Amino acid sequence: MMKKQVILHTGLLIFMLLLGISSQAQNERKFVRQGNEIFEQALQDTTQIDTVAFSQAETAYRKALDKRPDDLKWNFNLGDALYKQMKFEEATSKFEEIAEKSEDKYEKARAFHNMGNSMMMQNKLDESIEAYKKALRNNPDDLESKYNLVYAMNLKKQQEQQQQQQQQNQDQNKDQNKDQQDQNKDQQQNKDQQDQNKDQNKDQNKDQQKQNQDQNKQNQQQQQPQQQKISKENAERLLQALQNDEEKIQEKVKKAKAAKAQQRKTDKDW
């Protein structure tokens, strides 16, 4: 199973001081030696990262580099100290500088390797993968770079799968929200339609009531003349009947008078 940590190349043991140093370089090498000792002691504690000790080592390396700023080995050790303090951006710049200036392929490969580590710790996986590939171009047999390259590629794959899953979840939630919105919209439309139907029914009932009232009023208006006409006809018939009765009465009166006159005339003759 792959270890879940990157492998850092350290040049401290390889870049130890050589014999035969000149007296003019004693102070610079003294600072380097101090930095190496502090660095090595800090590495002994595997339970925690002693950033204070690595900071002290950084200070010692910088004092040496003040005198010899172009020494690639001392710069390499400074880059390691920066990395151990989790100053990954500064470490990246330092290892990139070493890789550009170094003419030795193996040292160039080591610089690209640690540059890849610094990039990975910043979650710059594409850059770290490219750095590991550059390390392997300079040293194809570097197993540590191969290991870290595979680790970075697998980590990138996992992140892409997670991002894809998150995107699918977002799309699914978006579709669900859209369906819910459509459902709410349909419900609102149904409610609006019901309200509209209710208003229409109300208006229709109101119109029907008004129409019935108008019809009743019209019927009443039509009935009133008919009733007046019937009453007039009855009156005329009644007057005609009275007139006929009166004529009959008058006829009877005339006949009675004539009969009485005839009787008188007869009596007179007697």
pLDDT at 168 over 50: yes
Cβ atoms within 10 Å of 130's Cβ, excluding its own: 17
236 and 152 inside one domain:
no
Tokens of 190: 């149904």
pLDDT tens string 20-49: 344 445 677 887 887 788 778 777 776 677
Q: With a cut of 80, say whether residue 154 has pLDDT above it.
A: yes
pLDDT at 7: 61
2: in domain = no
How far apart (Å, rounded) are the C-alpha atoms in residues 119 and 198? 69
| Last-in-domain residue among 158, 184, 214 | 158
| DSSP state at residue 164 | H
Query: HSE on the CB side for 75, CA within 13 Å?
Result: 22
Residue 11 forms part of a structural domain: no
Domain contains 256: yes
Q: Could you give phi then psi for residue 70, rounded to 5 degrees? A: -95, 5
Same domain, residue pair 30 and 154: yes
Q: How many domains is the chain built from?
A: 2
89: in domain: yes
Report the alpha-carbon angle 120-122-124, nearest 5: 60
Q: Are residues 206 and 108 in the same domain?
A: no
Residue for token digits 């369906």?
179
**Chosen domain end from 129, 158, 187:** 158
Each residue of 212-226: pLDDT tens digit? 777 777 766 665 555
Q: Is 23 exposed, middle or buried (0-12, 13-18, 19+ CB in 10 A)?
A: exposed
**Domain for residue 99, yes or no?**
yes
Residues 211 and 97 reside in one and the same domain: no
Global model pTM greater than 0.85: no
Instruction: Write out the two tokens for 229.
Output: 């006409």
Which domain, by its residues, includes 228? 197-270
Clarify whether residues 95 and 205 are in a common domain. no
150, 247: one domain: no
Q: Is residue 103 part of a domain?
A: yes
Residues 149, 240 share a domain? no
